[in-house]
Structure 1
Amino acid sequence: MSLGTRIKDLRIQKRLKQAELAEIVGLNSYVQIGRYETGKAKPAADMLSKLAKALDTTTDYLVNDDMNDAFVTAQLTDRELLKQFKEVEQFSAEDKQVVKIFIDAFITKRHIQELAK
């Protein structure tokens, strides 16, 4: 998946129009967002950082090709868990945040339990 495709997919997941994303990242026109999404232009490093922040992701995710997916698959051996994470990726930003809060709470609980031993 290309940088442009990732930007577009994340923008759509967040239910943002190109003009709205352009405004969030400080661009004067939505046209440049369209250029990024179609691969006709590549954002500079500072713009890439702004895009990642606006889209609730990392610059690493935006820039790296499918090698990222292969890396996650290689590291995550529990296929059911991997499938669940892929499902969560389709959630709204709000629902994703709820899932992250639950995971963080569980991890924190485990750390506290380990400290109490």
Structure 2
Amino acid sequence: MERLALVIGCAVLAGACSPFVEVLRLDDDVRARARAEVKQYSELPASYTAIKDLEATSCQFGLSHPKATNQDAIDQLHFKASRLGANGLANVFCDTPGTFDLGKNCWTSIKCRGTAIKVAP
């Protein structure tokens, strides 16, 4: 019984140390490469193929961690689009920043969405 309590306690503590949503922690080189590989379009190009709708969340999951930003979430979108073989990102929009979201385990969070696209040369 004590062992079960210990396992449950460890699981609770482990969950308290990370967000409850997918957050990609990208280093500066990966961010720069993803931005270079995937162009963000404010208007759809004349010829493209939609690949997949994406979403990404920037989450500050502790007071000592960086605040959630639109740019962090958008960088995650670029990275996800790049992994899918896309060379473009369209229809990007971000929600209003949220504060202390227990459902996500974030002090602040911002969710952005966009569509990975393949633009014809």
Greater share of strand: 2
Greater share of helix: 1
Normalising by structure 1, we get a TM-score of 0.18
| Greater relative CO, 1 or 2 (CA 8 Å, sep 6+) | 2
Normalising by structure 2, we get a TM-score of 0.17
